[in-house]
Structure 1
Amino acid sequence: MKKIILLAFIITFVSCKKEAEKNYGQPKQDDTAVTVSGQELFEGKGTCNACHLPDQKVIGPSIAEIANTYKEKKGSIVSFLKEESEPIVDPSQYEVMKTNFAITKLMSNEELKAIEDYIYSFSK
């Protein structure tokens, strides 16, 4: 019985060592991460399209207006969505937008950058 346990231990140790050697020097990949487009985030998780449409003002300014204004003034949409910078498009609607910071502050930098890239796709 002791030989069987010892043999099982050796097999386990050797197989683990080979797996560790195989990945040495390579970055660990997270296979659970899913890439989501800025549009999917904008329309889904971010619920941004409830107030912003591509070419017309609804509650908030249009996506095109946001894109053009931030581009012209060299602002950072990501910083705004993190509530780290002041609004530059329509400051009068800032109080309405504040409720959405609870959502955007929970997003990763990559997600916020994807939303920013999506918005900039509407610029002239």
Structure 2
Amino acid sequence: FMDIVTGKTKPDEGYVIWGEKSVSLLDMNESQIAQAGIGRKFQKPTVFEEQTVRENITMALKNPRSPLDLLLNRAAADTEERVRAVSDDIGLTDALDQLSGALSHGQKQWLEIGML
């Protein structure tokens, strides 16, 4: 069922709708479904443990950066603000500069949810 909802598998018949507008998820690819706000979280956290919480969240942000920004490793102007908003939502603001590998299992779960 979750494979169908998240776009991993197409059903033989039937339909899946999302939200008040009755948007058909079957017409979307996995990336479009994720951008619509539907994600999947497995039990084993998959975070970059050698990176800080801030770095993990930053990597997961959808950043509209130019190729030059990427080459020079320049962040988008609002990156820090967006990182703070995510960290506030998941309760990890106090751990932003901590290595993700040092987080408890539950905190890693929240970090991964914030990265979706």
Name the structure where helix makes up a greater proportion of residues: 1
TM range (shorter): under 0.3
**Larger Rg belongs to:** 1
With normalisation by structure 2, the TM-score equals 0.25
With normalisation by structure 1, the TM-score equals 0.24
